[in-house]
């Protein structure tokens, strides 16, 4: 391929409008790939840490000690850890309040966990709407550049008496590059969006099941009428996940 028919040469010979479209598509592609790599790491980490915490939670560990470990470290709890900390903290706080019935305790506890759940799910969905927009619109943006470039090529042919393939080929080739760049930006974005949506759904199910199961444990504790003498309502030894 000659220098004039190289991709760089076709880009430089394209009209300003088509060049702007190509640059925009390339920028969207670079941004998309950055978001794809970032989301892939974040969602994989969320699934891994969620599964590890669930295993620890159901291992029979003392929940009071688990709460202390999560709140005393420098790292801020996130994901399923945050759901546990939010629920446990609110449950212990409401249990210490005089005149608070078991149902009121559970309503407040469940509400605290649902708020934490919503915030964590929002974090997992970051950038997904951008990837969906890139995947659905960039092919049409590239097609716009192609139509514009082909239109200019045919307009230029109107000023000559005899048209040849060598005259129209460069203009059509540079126009088709815009469509190719649009597809280059769209295809990875669509694949990543579908893959990430599936992972987010798995995380939602994982978190949702934990909230309901943990609520069931705390519900039994809230309605338990027996309490050891001298033991505080929020004593860690009262809260042990069943094996």
pLDDT of residue 232: 43
Mean local confidence (pLDDT), 134-139: 94
In a domain, 210, yes or no: yes
pLDDT of residue 120: 93
pLDDT of residue 37: 96
In a domain, 35, yes or no: yes
- Tokens 């995947």, residue located: 135
pTM: 0.79
Domain assignment of residue 98, given as a range: 7-223
Of 157 and 64, the structure prediction assigns the larger pLDDT to 64
Tens digit of pLDDT for each residue in 216-227? 888 888 777 434
In a domain, 2, yes or no: no
Gap between the Cα atoms of 193 and 125, Å rounded: 10
Contact, 22 vs 181, CB < 8 A?
yes
Number of domains in the chain: 1
* Confidence tier at 23 by pLDDT (50, 70, 90): very high
Gap between the Cα atoms of 166 and 172, Å rounded: 10
In a domain, 233, yes or no: no
pLDDT of residue 237: 41
In a domain, 231, yes or no: no
Q: Give the E-state strand segments of 78-176 in sequence order.
A: none
pLDDT score of 228 more than 90: no
pLDDT of residue 206: 94
* Confidence tier at 105 by pLDDT (50, 70, 90): confident
Contact, 32 vs 131, CB < 8 A?
yes
pLDDT of residue 32: 96
* Confidence tier at 5 by pLDDT (50, 70, 90): low
- Tokens 């139509």, residue located: 147
Mean local confidence (pLDDT), 84-103: 86
Gap between the Cα atoms of 181 and 201, Å rounded: 31
* Confidence tier at 63 by pLDDT (50, 70, 90): confident
In a domain, 157, yes or no: yes
In a domain, 234, yes or no: no
In a domain, 235, yes or no: no
């Amino acid at each position: 391929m000659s220098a004039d028919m190289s991709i760089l040469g076709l880009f430089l010979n394209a009209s300003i409008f088509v060049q702007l479209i190509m640059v925009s598509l390339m920028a969207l592609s670079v941004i998309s790939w950055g978001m794809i790599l970032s989301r892939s790491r974040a969602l994989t980490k969320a699934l891994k840490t969620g599964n590890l915490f669930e295993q620890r939670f159901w291992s029979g560990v003392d929940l009071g000690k688990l709460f202390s470990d999560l709140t005393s470290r420098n790292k801020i709890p996130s994901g399923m850890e945050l759901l546990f900390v939010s629920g446990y903290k609110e449950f212990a706080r409401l249990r210490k309040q005089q005149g608070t019935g078991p149902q009121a305790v559970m309503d407040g506890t469940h509400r605290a966990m649902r708020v934490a759940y919503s915030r964590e799910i929002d974090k997992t969905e970051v950038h997904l709407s951008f990837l969906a927009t890139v995947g659905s619109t960039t092919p049409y943006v590239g097609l716009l550049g192609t139509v514009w470039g082909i239109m200019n090529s045919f307009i230029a042919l109107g000023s000559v008496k005899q048209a040849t393939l060598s005259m129209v080929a460069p203009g059509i080739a540079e126009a088709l590059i815009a469509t190719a760049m649009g597809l280059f930006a769209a295809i990875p974005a669509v694949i990543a969006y579908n893959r990430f949506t599936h992972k987010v759904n798995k995380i939602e199910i994982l978190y949702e099941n934990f909230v309901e199961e943990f609520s069931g444990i705390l519900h039994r504790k809230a309605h338990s009428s027996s309490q050891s003498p001298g033991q505080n309502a929020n004593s860690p030894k009262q809260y042990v996940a069943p094996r």
